[in-house]
Structure 1
Amino acid sequence: MKQFLFAVVMVSLLWLTSAKVLPMRENEGKSHNINKRVVYNVDEIENVDMTTFGKYLNSKDAELLLIFYYSIWCPNCEELWNNYLAVQDTLDQHGIENVKFGRMDCGWQTNRMTCIQQGALKQLPKIYLYERGQDVGTDVSDTFSDVDAALAYFNVI
């Protein structure tokens, strides 16, 4: 009898919780963007990997090169990625062609060594600005946390 009563109580609690009759704890039911996939594969942003990293930095297309270091498992990458796209789009609209945008997924094993060498894995996401031909970048992640500040950095606003 006790087992039956226990089962009835448990089923009732599950039903009440799923029906949201009982309040959930603050973090319960939130996905934390784990299952929500951000689209990092954008045609306008060049995919850079371990094999193309040197070629990207020596690109004749632009004087300034940006690389967005991210991983799909990183929940903080989404907001900075959206800002990165907004800045790229605005620079394109203003006809600024001396800045090239790239991205590197540090979650891939093959890219890990490059991400470590660049210091990007210490805390994702990171955005590094490189001058053509230089293999050491400047961390501009804080600048990109605000779209207007990033545009001001490139003298757009």
Structure 2
Amino acid sequence: MPLPHAISALPADVVAQLQAAGLRATRPRLLVLRAFQERAAQHLSAEAIVLALRAQATPLPRASVYNSISALVAHGLLMVTDVGPGRTLYEYMAHWHHHFICQQCGVILDVPCVVGASPCLLPDQIDAEVSSAQVIFRGLCRACVLANTSAAPLSQP
């Protein structure tokens, strides 16, 4: 069955990715996945995607965006970053990695995973089946460390 015109205008790779992940290529999923792909280096809230879709004249109901994000996460196309109470961000899953969050300025940096895949441990290390994993490092980014160092008063002899 041919796709509706608005959907067929999207790159075929988006449709193929959804289908390869076992998902139907619905309009909301296509638009949400494409929005994340276009912002692949960013960590975004669901609300940011709602606003981005509205700004590009392809608005979706908020519930459709949240439902699409949930399906895309469950099928490994998006990654979740829990950055603190009530603040969850998402990003396009180009590769598995961890995150560093600066406790001063809030910048989020991607940290390479030494294992290269989730759940970052060997199956024989624990007697359980891991369904998801997340490692978040917290501290001060280089810019904040330098700013704090240059702002520190000089000690007097």
Q: Same fold (TM over 0.5)?
A: no
TM-score by length of 2: 0.23
TM-score (norm 1): 0.23
